[in-house]
Structure 1
Amino acid sequence: MIMSPGGAMLILLPVLCLLPGASRAATLAGLGDTILGPEKFEGIANFSTFLLDRSSGMLFLGSRDAILAVDTYKLNQKPQKIIWDVPEEKRRSCVAKGKTEVDCNNYIRLLEFLGDGRVYVCGTYAFDPQCAFLELASFTLEKTEDGGVKMETGKGKCPFEPSQHYTAVMAGGTLYTAATSNFLGTLFDISRATGPEQERIRTERSINWLSDPEFVSSAFIEQTPDSNPTGDDDKIYFFFTEVAKEYDLYTKVKVPRVARVCKSDVGGMKTLQRRWTTFLKAELVCEDKPSGQRYNILTDVFTTQHTPGDPSSTHFYGLFTSQWEREELSAVCVFSLSDISKVLDGPFKELKKTCENWINPEPVPTPRPGQCLNHALKAEGYESSLKLPDKVLTFVRDHPLMENSVTAAPLLVRKGITYTKLAVTQTGTGEELKGAVLHLGTDRGELHRVAVVGQNTTLLQEVALFTSQEPVNNILLHQGKALVGSPLSLASVQAEGCALYPSCQVCARARGLGCVWSTVEEVCRPTTANPGPGDIVDDALRKCDNEDGRCNPAIRELRVSIGLRLLLPCTQLSPRPCSWEHPPHRHTRQHNSDLEVTVTDDSLGRYVCTCQEAGPGIRDPTPCRRAAYQLSLEGPSIGGTIATAGGRHVLAIYILFFCGGLVFGICLLYFATRRRSIGHKGNHLPDNSLSSEKGRDLLGSSATPQSPSSASLLSEGFRLTEKRNGTATSNTSTTLLSNNGNGGAVIHNKPSNGHGNSLYANCNTSNSGLKFTSEILTANLLDGRTEERKRGRPKRIERESGDGGEADDGLEDGMGDAMKGLVEDLASFPMFKSPAPLAQCEESSI
């Protein structure tokens, strides 16, 4: 049997599409990392809650209608599963109330250890929150006598709606939550949700207390006897964003807040009955003072102790964005517990106003409103909050907000990227704290690692874990690993150690973390030797082969063609601006700190990006060169992969290869048909012949094989007009270069997004006629393209066969009529009447 070229290509296409995924899987396996995709969980999805048993390494995942248990030491084993869904009649009742069928499921939003071998589990349960008890020994939900799940109300413990902002923390076996408390989602409470009924207290229903909040995180700070000589009470901190009532503006201004309540608070006797008497809140300010840029939307908080075992060394790393910026933007600020305590012990803000002006502030009564019980208060006879005077309770009811703010300068600012989750690992402790590594999850399924040493911030790695439609929604750190989750998948990746940085350049950027490159073993090793004076990263980079420095990158030469569109990257991690030096022409446009260039004769030359070094406390930033490129012209060649919209010579090459391949296929089909017609004595061509089929793509592969062990940043091409939700809106492909950290550009293109999807061309067949698709280029491809052309690599071409009915008859009569029909078909394509548009490709963005 003779197979047509089109049939052979249809068989090869799935193999070609799977090759990048196989390469990616090998890369992750080589690093000891593991990714569990949706197929591993057998239809269970919408993971939203993580709970890790650090003693056993068992990770519990809350999802839609199910609870899963995954052994983090044996990720290849099948997860344990408990189904906890909603009865059909309750689901129908939920839909009848106006909710969608998707939302009328049981989304597990709370998993907390109770300390008696059980886990407290709460779910939305079709907009009627319910809680149950999970027995760890048997991994089953407690049952009632009739065999049903033993449940109790979850109102005030779990949100009604799956997408509502929510946080909870367990403190000494008692659950503290911040959630909505009604079906409509209009009432908000910070409450003690479990324990004796008389001690279940909550916030006052007042906009001065909570004004349309979006809860983010919570933390329990437990005092130790050694560090608590005053006998101060343990505290619970809540972080959220709310609409500020202290600003008289025509629009709603959102501000980030931190609120504090005390563990032993049981409310007041008459005033503030079953309400917090210790609720105080303050504004968090993440601002770059020299530029005046403020980041006012809090999205995540990570709590850590700089000195393990010392609660006073607690720091809160906050992830922020801006209400006023149209473009995507993320910033990280860190706040210390001592700074927050100072603000909460400071003056109160007066919110009461008359019709004309502010009234005089009320005098602060004694004992101080809002303070936690300690030895001094108990000595004065205030053993409980029930004994506090009414004047103290009235004052704290009317003055929950503090006058001063907790301020910090951003450690990191990234434009064009939305970070969703944050985790922090530290090198050294206490006074010997060398630095920290920020593990940042993006809304496109990526994990970024950023080193913070002193006032210097350096991008170390960008790793694609999931598809671009799966945002990172959980990061847990455990025994040197980062457990990263999305709504559909789970990944376990290395998070600590110098072996994480497998190249000299990346290892040099981690010098401040105690890493040094071994030229003999060609590996990154930990070292106890203190780095020398000066810029330690710059000194370490100079020892690498490329002679790069952090502020003196080597010039990277790029061979380009006229009409090509490039995106030259310049990674900037501070709020200060970046500027470009380039030839004097107007074919450039800056995207955040990157530069888009359309190649013309006037645009050839040197491009240098200079950014302003900035960090906490730096008021006079110094310029630092971050990237340098040299664009030089290269003549067109049949082996190249650059596509230009208006180049006639490139169009001629496309047509030549198209016609040559078509004639070759027709010749093969002609001889096969002749042999078949002789054998069948004049029977017609079968319906499955090439000439009678539609949608066969003759797609030659020209993807450059990528090294799976490359240590550079994983980056890839994306369309300049592409929206961040993955919808491509432009027909012109763009070349994206990526630099590795703050130093010179270390270029790498990632071959896959981790799930076997090709990043370069749509592996699905189409029926839209003749198309030309341009390869997404990286610097490795640009630098080595001349050699590849000498080897005569084929051009990527997508072709669609036409109707084909007349071609069948022409093959019976001879090649002459077939060629005539081919000419007529080609003449009918609008492609030959106007410049050829570039085919849209399915791509994953950075």
Structure 2
Amino acid sequence: MKPATCLLSALLALCFPLHSRTAALSSREVASSMVTQWEFDDVANISTFLLDRESGILYLGARDAIVAVDTANKLKSPKIVWNVPEEKSRSCVTKGKTEADCNNYIRLLEFLGDGRIYACGTYAFDPQCAFVNISNFTLEKSEDGREEMETGKGKCPFEPSQHYTAVMAGGILYTATTSNFLGTLFDISRATGIEQERIRTERSINWLSDPEFVGSAFIQEDQNNNPMGEDDKIYFFFTEVAKEYDLYTKVKVPRVARVCKSDIGGMKTLQRRWTTFLKAQLVCEDRGSGQRFNVLTDVFTKQHQPGDPSSTHFYGIFTSQWEREEMSAVCVYSLEDITKVMDGPFKELKKSCENWMNPEPVPTPRPGQCLNSALKAEGFDSSLKLPDKVLTFMRDHPLMENSVVSAPLLVRSGVTYTKLAVTLTPVSNGNSKLNATVLHLGTDHGELHRIAVVGPNATLLQELPLFPASEPINNILLYKGEALVSSPNSLVKLPAEGCTLYPTCEVCARARPLGCVWREKEAACSLAVTEPGEVLNPEDLVSRCGRSEDRCSPEMKDLHVAEGLHVLLPCVQVSPRPCHWQHPPQRHTRRHLSDLEVRVTLESNGTYVCFCEEAGREQPACPRAAYRLLLQEPSASLSIMQASSRQFVAGYMLFFIIGFLVCGLLVCLVHRRRKKGGGGHSSSTSEKGRDLLPSSDTPQSPSSASLFSEAVPFAEKRNGTLNGHGGHMPERKCGYIYSNSSGLKLQDTSVNLAEGFPGRERAGPEGEEEGLGDGLSDIGDGLAGLEEELAKLHMLRGAPLAQCEESSI
């Protein structure tokens, strides 16, 4: 962008958006008054949360450190330093990793139940685990004074950024992670406990195919309400490449997998492998538009009825593999629906020619089911007693035929959600009672969004900026009516519930499904006293805060802009339902949430109106913002600045070309002087080569850094294979060096340079590119003279022919 254009863009960006960002500024003020922030010395890359709900102490896993934070008091937080020895870090770097990655990133913190915390870190790509004594908050040490550690392979990922999940179930650790240095092997395993019972998934793409693990949950059966004697289960959520689709590209699908707590593997088949591993596809599809979201990024587990495991629901954040713009959706799945799919038919993956084979008959007892009272009555009280035919079927059929289907609670464009937490608020709607779901969503730009969902209606309540835009939210934890939120470098605490969160009449009215009402006298939002049978529409309440005509008839703003500017047109969105813009057809725009960025061109003149859906889908969209872009002629000063900018570029190019020619001339003069000094006697090839090659290299050495070594040809591949022999070359100018019977030939690169800069061969309207073609022809003449001199060097006559590189699909 030109300097004058940059200056005007900055001025417009400062002027226009200010008055339309009132809602965002008020959110910042509210956030600053409610937020408690902790600052840590020398602590970065916070990635792991572990909360002691009795004491309120929050343990943070970070880079080379574990921090204990008292969430009730803003006191100085003690820290454990657990770093990598210097020699181990150097060894990690020599294996091709960066210095930043060769630290110890704490990825796992879990209570052991005996007053200790089990902590695991990447430890310079060699995962290690240690024990934290909670009473004195120190790492346990061995007799020689070193930290007492054990291998963390299979318990913790090797790389800091690898997707990973783990859950503790009955004192036993279950993990889903990579299990090798290269990150190519993936396991869902029982990582601790009795050695003979540490089992994992089969190494087969039918079981796991390039998975990206997202979350896990331990569902423990209610001992007082479990008539079938069902076993406890562990659920894993991930995204993997689907092998059931025959397409030319890799199709990602979200999955849920289930294993049983009492599974210890098979006797002959599936030894030390899961005999209960089943997985099913999760479908998050907007039925109205038919759009499907196929990449799962986060999962939150919530019991809708506390104490009842069967009421468990899983809320997931989804994105789309196919959408170019940022887009996020939230879908929810019940444990009951997942169980029905796991008890349904198996998918047959085997194929013969072009016809699907008849599915194999399902043996008995049913493969993949957890132990229960009925199986134990039949004599199958352990997975070791299952027949081989059952285990063989299980090994070949881990995928279920049916999918777990859900419609999105909300879909938002222009935003990427990273973390999710959910609270349920019981509300009264007439004579019926239902739960209002409040979604606490963290973005990749450090914002916390709160969205209330009641039935089919979703309402955006807050957008709170908590961290700098460069810091994504990576943890959200709800505790005693408060939310603990972290980015890689910061931790904050703010209220998660209550009507006082909503400072304006309009936002409070939209929180009416949560039981909130705006008090005019107090100018505050507080809990409502709802009379039996009272039904109030939030849209009606919003209209009381201001005339609907004012809200849906925005004032037209005229913006005088210059060509080349990038103008941001704000649109305040009060609902998570989508907003769309009406604008001229020939325009260059890009969306930023509900805002619109316009690059001003001659065709950009016209009216831009933002429409947002606020009520139900059956209601017409409400205009929220309107702008009229008026293109004005550039001022004289702008023309002068543009002209000076073009002159500067032309001068720079001329200086570069002259410098290149002078260097070439000096090389020729030096070479001729050396040749004259060495004339009159015969010299060997090695003696002439000393002027061009380092003393330790030879023309045949692969380590030679010379441009004329056969190990460094300009083009050395043809159809993906190395070509080290001579041959007939097609007449193409590729900028390579080769030799034949007549000696060395240096191909003219002037055509190549012209092709490397599209449009350079055509002078612009102002003539800013004039003289470039002449300069390149001069370079070609200089290279032709250098070519004749180099042809006399005998050392180069044996160089192999390097063919031009071709690409093939």
TM-score (norm 1): 0.68
Tell me if structure 1 keeps the 8 A contact 2:459–2:574. Answer: no
Deviation at 1:649, TM superposition (A): 10
The residue that corresponds to 1:567 in the other structure is: 569
1:327 aligns with 2:325: yes
Counterpart contact for 1:609–1:625, Cα < 8 Å? yes
Q: Which amino acid aligns with 2:622?
A: R
Shift, 1:96, TM fit: 1.7
Residue by residue over 1:208-227, the C-alpha shift from the partner in whole angstroms, topping out at 9 and shown as x without a partner, is 00001000000001111233
- Say which is worse superposed, 597-606 or 485-494, in terms of deviation: 597-606
8 A Cα contact 1:266 1:386, kept in partner:
yes
Task: For residue 439 of structure 2, give the secondary structure of its aligned residue in structure 1.
Answer: strand
Q: One-letter code of the match for 2:98? A: T
Shift of 1:527: 2.2
For 2:471, the aligned partner's letter is: E
Q: What is aligned with 2:450? A: 449
Contact 1:434 1:514 in 2 (8 A): no
Cα distance, 1:481 vs structure 2: 1.2
Q: How does 1:654-665 map to 2 (within 5 A)?
A: none
The AA in structure 1 aligned to 2:115 is: G
Partner of 2:149: 151
Deviations 1:484-541 (CA, angstroms, capped at 9, x unpaired): 1111111111111111101111101111111111112111111241697777210211
2:202 is matched by which residue type in structure 1? Answer: E
* Residues 380, 580 of structure 1: alpha-carbon distance in 2 compared, 3 angstrom cutoff: same
Give yes or no for contact 2:27–2:464 (8 Å, CA) kept in 1.
Answer: no
SS in 2 for 1:131: strand
- CA-to-partner distance for each residue in 1:658-716, whole Å, 9 max, x for gaps? xxxxxxxxxxxxxxxxxxxxxxxxxxxxxxxxxxxxxxxxxxxxxxxxxxxxxxxxxxx
Whole-angstrom CA distance in 2 between matches of 1:508 and 1:317: 26
Equivalent residue of 2:621, what SS? strand
Distance in 2, matches of 1:259 and 1:29, equals: 39
Question: Cα deviation per residue 1:18-47 (whole Å; 9 max; x = unaligned)?
Answer: xx9xx99994686331123xxx31121111
Task: Give the direction of change, closer, same or farther, for the CA distance of 1:359–1:572 in structure 2 (3 Å limit).
Answer: farther
Structure 1 SS opposite 2:264:
coil
Distance 1:650 1:475, change over 3 A: farther
RMSD: 3.0
Compared with structure 1, are the counterparts of its residues 64 and 531 closer, same or farther at alpha carbon in structure 2 (3 Å cutoff)?
farther
Show the counterpart of 1:540: 541
User: Alpha-carbon deviation of 1:604?
Assistant: 7.2
1:339 is aligned to 337
Alignment correspondent of 2:434? 433
Gaps of 5+ in 1: 1-19, 615-620, 635-643, 655-829, 831-846
Provide the residue aligned with 2:492 in structure 1. Answer: 491
Work out whether residues 587 and 603 of structure 2, in 8 Å CA contact, stay in contact via their aligned partners in 1: no
Which secondary structure state, in structure 2, belongs to the residue aligned with residue 428 of structure 1?
Answer: strand
Corresponding residue number in structure 1 for 2:48: 49
Are the equivalent residues in 2 in contact too, given 1:82–1:140 (CA < 8 A)?
A: yes
Letter in 2 for 1:269: M
State the match for 2:389 in structure 1.
391
| Structure 2 residue aligned with 1:97 | 95
Distance 1:282 1:531 in 2: 44
Q: In the aligned structure 2, how far is the partner of 1:222 from the partner of 1:611?
A: 42
Q: Which residue of 1 aligns with 2:620?
A: 624
1:606 Cα deviation after fit = 8.5
Task: After superposition, give the CA deviation of every residue in 1:137-190 in whole Å (9 maximum; x if it has no partner).
Answer: 000011101111011111110011111110000001110000011111111000
| Residue of 590, 602, 607 corresponding to 2:609 | 607
Match of 2:460 in 1: 459
Cα distance, 1:602 vs. partner? 11
Partner of 2:398: 400
Aligned residue identity for 1:45:
A
Deviation at 1:542, TM superposition (A): 1.8
Partner Cα separation in structure 2 for residue 74 and residue 32 of structure 1: 15
- Tell me, yes or no, if the aligned pair for 2:508 and 2:525 is still in contact at 8 Å: yes
CA separation in 1, counterparts of 2:281 and 2:236? 12
- CA distance in 2: counterparts of 1:475 and 1:325, whole angstroms: 27
Structure 1's 645 and 273: CA in aligned 2 closer, same or farther, altered over 3 A?
Answer: farther
1:354 to 338, 352, 355: 352
Inter-CA distance 82–630: structure 2 relative to 1 (3 Å threshold): closer
Take 1:645 and 1:136, find their aligned partners in 2: how far apart are those partners? 68
**CA, structure 1 residues 281+599, in 2 after alignment: closer, same or farther (shift >3 Å)?**
same
Report whether the alignment pairs 1:482 with 2:451. Answer: no
- State, as a whole percentage, how many aligned pairs show the same letter: 66
Deviation digits for residues 351-377 of structure 1 (CA, Å, limit 9, x no counterpart) = 111123111000011111100111111
Say if 1:532 and 1:412 are closer, same or farther in 2 by CA, change over 3 A. Answer: farther
CA contact (8 A) 1:572 1:593 kept: no
Distance 2:635 2:54 in 1: 67
Judging changes above 3 Å, is the alpha-carbon distance between structure 1 residues 645 and 55 closer, same or farther for their aligned structure 2 residues?
Answer: farther
**Aligned length in residues:** 609
Per the alignment, residue 746 of structure 1 pairs with none
Please state how far the C-alpha of 1:102 moved relative to its aligned partner.
Answer: 1.2
Given the superposition, is the C-alpha separation of residues 320 and 223 from structure 1 closer, same or farther in structure 2, using an over 3 Å criterion?
A: same
Deviation sequence 1:605-636 (CA, Å, 0-9, x none): 7936154977xxxxxx42432333455899xx
Give the CA deviation at 1:560: 3.1
1:236 aligns with 2:234: yes
**Mapped contact 1:485–1:491 kept (Cα < 8 A):** yes
Indicate the SS of the match to 2:352: coil
What is the SS of the residue equivalent to 1:451?
Answer: strand
CA contact (8 A) 1:243 1:255 kept: yes
Please say which structure displays the higher CA radius of gyration. Answer: 2
2:192 alignment partner AA = T
Corresponding residue of 2:36: 34
Q: Does 1:521 align with 2:522?
A: yes
The answer to whether the 8 A contact 1:49-1:108 is kept is yes
Q: What residue number does 1:775 align with?
A: none
Query: Shift in Å at residue 441 of structure 1?
Result: 0.8
Report the CA distance shift for 1:649/1:517 in structure 2 as closer, same or farther (over 3 A): farther
Specify whether residues 585 and 211 from structure 1 end up closer, same or farther in structure 2 by C-alpha distance, changes over 3 A only. Answer: closer
Distance in 2, matches of 1:52 and 1:447, equals 20
Residue equivalent to 1:79: 77
Tell me the distance in 1 between the aligned counterparts of 2:636 and 2:501.
Answer: 47
Distance 1:28 1:58, change over 3 A: farther
* Structure-2 change in CA distance of 1:252 and 1:173 (3 Å): same
Question: Aligned-pair distance for 1:436?
Answer: 1.1
Contact kept in structure 1, 2:588 and 2:604, CA below 8 Å? no
Which amino acid in structure 2 is aligned with residue 456 of structure 1? N
Task: Give the gaps of 5 or more residues in structure 2.
Answer: 1-21, 642-767, 769-809
Describe how 1:64-143 pairs up with structure 2 within 5 A.
64-75=63-74, 77-143=75-141
**One-letter amino acid of the counterpart of residue 81, structure 2:** I
Higher RCO structure, 1 or 2 (CA under 8 Å, sep 6+): 1
1:728 aligns with: none
2:512 is aligned with 1:511: yes
Asked if the contact 1:562–1:600 (Cα under 8 Å) also holds between the matched residues in 2, the reply is no
Shift of 1:567: 1.3
Distance 1:53 1:645, change over 3 A: farther
Aligned letter for 1:488?
Answer: N
Residue 541 of structure 1 aligns to a residue whose secondary structure is helix
The answer (yes or no) to whether the contact 2:241–2:253 under 8 Å persists in 1 is yes
Map of 1:273 onto structure 2 = 271
Kindly indicate whether the alpha-carbon contact (under 8 Å) linking 2:164 and 2:177 is maintained by their aligned counterparts in 1: yes
Structure 2 counterpart of 1:49, which letter? T
Q: Which digits, 9 at most, give the CA deviation of each residue in 1:416-444, with x for residues without a partner?
A: 11111111111029983331111111111
Residue of structure 2 equivalent to 1:163: 161
TM-score, with normalisation over the residues of structure 2?
Answer: 0.71
User: Relative to 1, partners in 2 of residues 1:629 and 1:131: Cα closer, same or farther, differing over 3 Å?
Assistant: closer
SS at match of 2:500: helix
Aligned to 2:772: none
Rounded to whole Å, the distance in 1 between the matches of 2:575 and 2:354 is 45
